[in-house]
Each structure stands twice: as C-alpha cells, then as structure tokens.
Structure 1
Amino acid sequence: MTHQSDLLRVLAGRGYIHQMTDAAALDALAARQVVPGYIGFDPTAPSLHVGSLVQIMLLRRLQQTGHKPIVLMGGGTGKIGDPSFKDEARKLLAEDGIQANVASIKRIFERFLTFGDGPADAVMLDNAEWLDALEYIPFLRDVGQHFSVNRMLGFDSVKLRLDREQSLSFLEFNYMILQAYDFLELSRRAGCRLQMGGSDQWGNIVNGIELARRMDGTEVFGVTTPLITTADGTKMGKTMAGAVWLHEDQLPHFDYWQFWRNTDDRDVGRFLRLFTDVTVDEIARLEALQGAEINAAKIVLANEATAMCRGMAAAEQAAETARRTFEEGGSGDALPTFAVSGPTIGIVDALIGLGFAKSKGEARRLIAGGGARVNGEKISDEGYSIAVQGDMRVSAGKKLHGLVIAG
C-alpha cells in the first residue's frame, strides 16, 4: 500500500505496524494536519525496560514526522495494573511510590522526545488527573452503558486468565474501561486522534475508539506494533541476568551496550530500523554484510541505541571498554563489578555476585557446560577459588563479562 503521509510511510517502512483501524482515513488525516497521538505507560517501577522501547520509538517517529506525541503516565490506572496477558494481578502500589516512579520515568522520555509548547512538541500527562476525580455512579451511568460484558469476556487478555482458571479481580476487569475512558478524555482535552500500543492492547484501543464515537461522535484511530521477538523466537529484552533496564542506575552502560552488541545476526537489520535513527539506505548496506563483517553492523546498532538512551559519552565509553576487553585482553572500566572483602572467592559465588547466574545450581550448570572462565581460562571445577589479586575478569559464555575486585 502506498501511503500519502510521512507518518505511515515511516512506520510501515521501518516495521512498526501490526494492525490499524481505518488506515486510509488515518493516512489522509496525517497528510493534512498535525495528529496528536498517545501511548500509555503504567509506572510500576522506577525505570522502563527494553520491552517498552518500541513504544517509545513509536512516539519518536510520530514527532519526527511532524506530529505531537502525548506520553500518558498511568498514575490512575497504575493503581490497578493492566491485566492484559498476565497470569496474576500486579502488586498494588502506594500513591507516593507511583509518583516517585513517574518522576523517574520522565527522565527516560526526555532523551527520546522534545518537550515544549509547540504544535509538535511532546507533552506528558497523568490520567490520575481525571480518573481520581470520577464519581462511581455517574461513571457507571455515563460510560459503563457503552460496554458489553459479553464482549469484554471475549477479549483474549481476559479469556487467557479465565481459561487457566486464574483469578481476575473486578478491579482488574475495570482496567479496559478506564483505558477507553483515557482516550475519550485525551480527545476532549488535547485533541488526541490516535492511540498506539503493542499488539496486546488492540482490544483496549478499539474500546476507546468506539467510546469516543458513541459519546462524542469523534473519529479517532488506533495503531498497534507487532510483538518483538528475536530470531530464535524468544521475547526481545530478556537475558540471563534479567531485564534490560533503560535507566543507568539499574543497568550499567556497558551491559546496555553489550545487549545490543550481542544481537543475533538475523535481527540486526530489523533492530536497526526499529531502535535507531540510521537511514534505511544505510541499514540495507549494513544488513547485507556477511560472515564476520556483520559484527560491524552490530557495533553500529550498539553505539546508536546506547547513544540515544544513555548519551554519546556512554556509548563511546562502552565501545572502548569492549575493544579493550575483547581485542586487547584488558579489563575495561565499565564492566560490571563484584567487590569481595576476603582474599578469595569461589567461582560459583562470583558468577552469582556478578548476576551471571541466579542460583548456585545455575552457576554449577554453567561451569559444567564449559561456560565459566577467569581471565580467559576455562574453569571446570565448581570448587575453584579465585585469588583476588587486582581485577580478576570473570566470564559466562562469550557474551557476559565482569570483574571481581577487592572490596
């Protein structure tokens, strides 16, 4: 399909689109005016992780093509937690914890978006502003009448929990109504015409579109992104050491850089399109590299993704650390470290302390499989003790490296 608008040309060309409502009408609207569009983020932690990055980049593409991003923080819905495709209810957060998370997360968006008062400048809103003020009976009367329980029970996100006979509280069941109401409020308050989100949000987005049409007669639109998986079929963003956090105080710069550097050869081109501003022509050249040369494309991906999220200095430092560690055999200043108070530490405890294994059993399996090294030497004895003399480099496989240091 040939698109009129820069917005849909860019989103389609870089692989962001999974589903759209009335693509032709949205395309025509984006071609003739600034379209305010939003994505919601529940502040359940002080940082977002890489799993949220495609949505952040979606807002960035919206702004890059001349439209207005609205970052909606779920200060209200965050008190419930989105039940979509979850096995159990999220732990409810206190008000002060939610607000602290909102303030922390805002720092992430300031790296990806330009905020201000201009027509295409980003704004951050909090749905607690209107959800906290709702009165229960008027809300049921005015909004609740537009929702069919029969249809809500048919949504995949709800059916998943019910089919597994897992509890779905009435509190969580209300989440989809509140999210639909968010779209209505943003349409009224900010002229918002577009909601975007992951493919698991399709039902919630359609609810909001129908609510705006029924209550206000307003035409609004929805776009969802595909589930981002790696070439081996696993969910993107999961590593042996846990979540890949966007904040540097929860994940060191080097680990963030190394996550991108370790991308599967088959994913390099796709991830360059989704997570960097490298031009599509340059990406076509990079993804065509063969054999060992594809590593150059991975370094571009790591540098560009890290610079965008952590700053150019962090990307350069991480790249230099990698060069010194892997090309020269040095230690590098930005590797994760584990401080030890005594003169020695067991290899099992070192692997756990560096976050390369979550348990002693996992560490032992790593050692038995030949994946543990100290200063480049393979360690096959799970009882091996590391003499802490200067910085001792400990590796788990080919991709995870850290330092055991004297504390």
Structure 2
Amino acid sequence: MTNFIEELKWRGMVHDIMPGTEEQLNKEMTSGYIGFDPTADSLHIGHLVQIMTLVHFQNSGHKPFALIGGATGMVGDPSGKSQERNLLSQETLEHNLESIKHQLSKFLDFNSDTNSAELVNNYDWFKEFSFLDFIRDVGKHITVNYMMSKDSVKKRLEGENGMSFTEFSYQLVQGYDFYWLYKNKNCKLQLGGSDQWGNIVTGTELIRRKDSGEAFAVTTPLIKKADGTKFGKTEGGNVWLDPDRTSPYEFYQYWLNASDVDAANYIRIFTLLSKEEIETLEKEHAEAPHLRRLQEALAKDITIRVHSEKEYESAVKASQILFGKSTTEDLVNLDEKTFLSVFKGVPQANISKADLDNSGDVTTLLSESTGGIIFKSKGEARKMIQGGGVSINKTKIATPNDAVDFELLQGKYLLAQKGKKNYYIIHIN
C-alpha cells in the first residue's frame, strides 16, 4: 500500500478531509466509493476528476466502489443546481447505467485478486424500500435542522424557485447509500467533489447515529479554468467520453488547446505520470513554451486512456492536416467522422455528380460549379491557381486548366484549400 492522501495532495486533489481519514487508510486496506449520476448515457470530462480519484485509490492498494445512482438519478441532486432536473424513466436509466459501466471499466481493474473494483447500483437496495420504512428507519436519525444547515439546501431555499420535498430528501437518500455500503460492503470512506461535502457527512452522521460506527470523507476541488470559463465545456457543449458524442479528434484537441496554466494543473489531475516526470516536462516547457510539451503530454496520455492508442495517432494525423504537415494519403486514410470533425464549421458546397463531371477543369469547379462559395469568379480562381495557392485533397493545382480528376474522400467529398488556412468541403451528392 502507498499513501493515497499524499498522492492526492501533490496532485492538488484534496479540498476537504475528515479527521482520522489518513490514519485509517494507512492502517489497512479500506473500501471507499464515489457516486456517478446516470442522467446521460456517457460520462464527460467533468467526471474525470472522480474517476481518477478512484484510480489513485485502487493504485494505492485500497478497494474502490463505483456507485451508479439508479435510484438517486430518479430524484436529482440539488447541489450546484438552480432548478430541479427532469426525472428519468427506468428504461432510460438502465440504458445509461450499462453505458457508464463500460466506460468505467477502461480505468478501473475489476479483476484484481486483492482489491478488485466493484460496481453497485443504489436502485438495487432502494427498489423494495417503502416510503414508510425509509422515514422510520432513516429519517428519524437526522433532524430537519441538520439538513437545512447544508449550503446546497440554503441556496435553493433562498432562490426564487425554492426546493421540492423530493430534492430536499436527496441528502438522506445519499446518506443511506453510504450506510448501506458500510453495513453490507464494509465501506468506510466516501469520496466526491467539494460540492458533495454536505451530502457525504450526512452519510457519516447516519452511520454514527444509527450504528455507532465511524466513517470518513475526502473531497476534491472543483476544477476551474484560468480564464474563468467553465472546465469541460466547448461551444458545442460537454466534452464527452463517448466517441459518438465527442470524436477522439475533438477530445484530443480540447486538451491540446489548454493554456499553459491550465495544462500544468490538468497534467497532475488527469494523468498517471509521476511527480518526477511532470516536473521534467514543466522544466522543458519553461525552456521552450512554444513547443507546448505539457499540452502534448497531457493530450496524449488522456486520449489513449479514454479512447485508444490508435485513436490518438489518428487524432495527431488529423491535427497535422490543418497545419500543412500531411499528405494526400493521410487525408484519404481519414475516416468520415474524423474528417468531418477536423473540418467542422468550414464552408461547404453541395453539388451533384453531374455538376462535377461537367466542370471540365478545376477553375470552373472552384467557381461556377460550387456557386461562388470558394471563388466568386473564374478570373479570381485562375489568378490564385497560377500563384500556387490552391490545392484539392492536399495536392497543389498546377495550372488553371487541370482536369477534375481526384479521388473522392469517403466516396463523396473533395477538400479544397485556398492559401494556407482557408478550407472548403465540396460535398458531391
């Protein structure tokens, strides 16, 4: 066993810790858990802090539980929320649970001989728990005064929308999760984000009052970007772990584009690189910031672990296409999804196969056939082609009279490039 708390501290991953926690973890292998909300069929990078916390917990020799909130997902956690969320159907929750289980299996070892990770679903112990039994066996141990003292409750009560009894009861429901795992799985520690501290200590209090037991808590800081914008968000929304929601290329680019300050923070939190490796990278980065060593190491490590080495290599090649370091062959070998991810947002001209065949030469294709989107006139196109500034599928056009004879990408696209940075997709219907 290694010191889990020390590992979290040097990585900047400790916000609150209950007295006695470190002593308990150093004394013996301890079971601990983190809850994941199944409101979508994929986790996103906002969940990665907690996933990495469980990874470090297991690597330190302890036993991690990942609790999927099949029951609590039906209620909705009020922490950090200004409005009550929509409740999900049982069918939707089941689908989400299976997807999340698959994603977590990429990070945690579920087949260890000593401290194998386990997945649990709190719906399993709540589905037969009647309301009367719950308020008798759980509710009587925690006072309303205690529940109302929590910040998550205070903020909602002071807001204009108020708080339903459903959400008010959430901390009791989460508290019972901790109690159930304590009783049935010998789980003595709950981990989570700093916004969960109130809910977590309700669990430790329930264990103390109901069973005279002792349980512990650790929370991690909420991640903030140096420029004040929200971590894990782009113009398109969340950065998901599911490649169907966020392509590996977009995922890789998110980390690659981190600022120097953020990259120095992220590389500690989201990678498994050692302290020595990170300090070496920081030194190299300080000596030559323009090489972006931190960002490259961060993006590589996390893209490989979330997706695969093959997807990482594909993302690197796709990135090089934008910066002129690629060949026609690289472009042809891109799958359609990655191709569209790389060139998301670039102007697109839709033409028929007949229009393509009737163009005759590239000058006509890039002006009249594509409706003036790339060049407004043949003269403008001819001039830039003669200046050596036009390419199709990464092949430079030699003369304005070159024939339209190019291999279609994925059987339906041509990529036109005007100058160094202006790209256009010609979609042949």
| Deviation for aligned residue 1:185 | 0.2
Aligned to 1:310: 307
Residue aligned with 1:391, SS: strand
- Report the residue type matching 1:391 in the other structure: L
Q: Deviations over 1:328-360 (max 9, x none)?
A: 26685224166875465898xxxxxxxxxxxxx
Alpha-carbon distance change, 310 to 178 in structure 1, aligned in 2, over 3 angstroms: same
Aligned to 2:9: 12
Query: Take 1:215 and 1:8, find their aligned partners in 2: how far apart are those partners?
Result: 28
User: Which has more radius of gyration?
Assistant: 2
Alpha-carbon distance change, 315 to 389 in structure 1, aligned in 2, over 3 angstroms: closer
Alignment of 1:368-379 (within 5 A): none
Residue aligned with 2:95, SS: helix
- Report the residue type matching 2:266 in the other structure: F
Return 165-174 or 201-210, whichever deviates more. 165-174
1:391 to 415, 419, 422: 415
Aligned to 2:184: 189
Q: Is 1:83–2:74 an aligned residue pair? A: no
Residue aligned with 1:15, SS: coil
8 Å CA contact 1:5–1:28 kept in 2: the answer is no
Alpha-carbon distance change, 402 to 275 in structure 1, aligned in 2, over 3 angstroms: farther
Q: Deviations over 1:117-164 (max 9, x none)?
A: 633110000000111111222221221112221232232212222222
Aligned to 2:206: 211
Residue aligned with 2:292, SS: helix
8 Å CA contact 1:303–1:319 kept in 2: the answer is no
- Report the residue type matching 1:183 in the other structure: F
Q: Is 1:21–2:18 an aligned residue pair? A: yes
8 Å CA contact 1:19–1:225 kept in 2: the answer is yes
Alpha-carbon distance change, 259 to 133 in structure 1, aligned in 2, over 3 angstroms: same
Q: Is 1:287–2:287 an aligned residue pair? A: no
Residue aligned with 2:106, SS: helix
8 Å CA contact 1:39–1:195 kept in 2: the answer is yes
| Deviation for aligned residue 1:233 | 2.2
8 Å CA contact 1:393–1:404 kept in 2: the answer is no
8 Å CA contact 1:81–1:92 kept in 2: the answer is yes
Aligned to 2:150: 155
Alpha-carbon distance change, 77 to 253 in structure 1, aligned in 2, over 3 angstroms: same
1:326 to 323, 327, 332: 323
Query: Take 1:124 and 1:404, find their aligned partners in 2: how far apart are those partners?
Result: 48
Return 183-192 or 330-339, whichever deviates more. 330-339
8 Å CA contact 1:254–1:318 kept in 2: the answer is yes
| Deviation for aligned residue 1:268 | 1.5
Residue aligned with 2:34, SS: strand
Query: Take 1:26 and 1:130, find their aligned partners in 2: how far apart are those partners?
Result: 27
| Deviation for aligned residue 1:276 | 0.7
Return 326-335 or 189-198, whichever deviates more. 326-335
8 Å CA contact 2:317–2:326 kept in 1: the answer is no
| Deviation for aligned residue 1:5 | 5.1
- Report the residue type matching 2:60 in the other structure: T
Alpha-carbon distance change, 155 to 316 in structure 1, aligned in 2, over 3 angstroms: same
Alpha-carbon distance change, 287 to 94 in structure 1, aligned in 2, over 3 angstroms: same
Residue aligned with 1:248, SS: coil
Q: Is 1:98–2:83 an aligned residue pair? A: no
Alpha-carbon distance change, 170 to 74 in structure 1, aligned in 2, over 3 angstroms: same
Q: Structure 1: 5+ residue runs without aligned partners?
A: 348-373, 377-387
| Deviation for aligned residue 1:79 | 0.8
Query: Take 1:109 and 1:91, find their aligned partners in 2: how far apart are those partners?
Result: 25
CA RMSD of aligned residues (A): 2.6
8 Å CA contact 1:391–1:404 kept in 2: the answer is yes
- Report the residue type matching 1:261 in the other structure: L
Residue aligned with 1:93, SS: coil
Query: Take 1:340 and 1:196, find their aligned partners in 2: how far apart are those partners?
Result: 51
8 Å CA contact 2:32–2:189 kept in 1: the answer is yes
Alpha-carbon distance change, 345 to 178 in structure 1, aligned in 2, over 3 angstroms: farther
| Deviation for aligned residue 1:216 | 1.1
| Deviation for aligned residue 1:240 | 1.5
- Report the residue type matching 2:53 in the other structure: L
Q: Structure 2: 5+ residue runs without aligned partners?
A: 353-369, 374-391, 395-411
Alignment of 1:13-92 (within 5 A): 13-22=10-19, 25-92=20-87
Residue aligned with 2:105, SS: helix
Query: Take 1:140 and 1:241, find their aligned partners in 2: how far apart are those partners?
Result: 43
Aligned to 2:408: none
Aligned to 1:221: 216
Q: Deviations over 1:64-110 (max 9, x none)?
A: 11111100000111111111111111111110100000001111101
Aligned to 2:262: 267
Query: Take 1:155 and 1:345, find their aligned partners in 2: how far apart are those partners?
Result: 62
Aligned to 2:361: none
8 Å CA contact 2:282–2:294 kept in 1: the answer is yes
8 Å CA contact 2:349–2:425 kept in 1: the answer is no
Residue aligned with 1:193, SS: strand
Q: Is 1:276–2:300 an aligned residue pair? A: no
Query: Take 1:228 and 1:404, find their aligned partners in 2: how far apart are those partners?
Result: 41
1:235 to 224, 230, 235: 230
- Report the residue type matching 1:20 in the other structure: I
Q: TM-score, normalised by structure 2?
A: 0.78
8 Å CA contact 2:349–2:424 kept in 1: the answer is no
8 Å CA contact 2:415–2:424 kept in 1: the answer is no
8 Å CA contact 2:260–2:294 kept in 1: the answer is no
Query: Take 1:402 and 1:31, find their aligned partners in 2: how far apart are those partners?
Result: 59
- State the aligned residue count: 360
Query: Take 1:54 and 1:308, find their aligned partners in 2: how far apart are those partners?
Result: 14
Alpha-carbon distance change, 258 to 194 in structure 1, aligned in 2, over 3 angstroms: same
Query: Take 1:18 and 1:94, find their aligned partners in 2: how far apart are those partners?
Result: 35
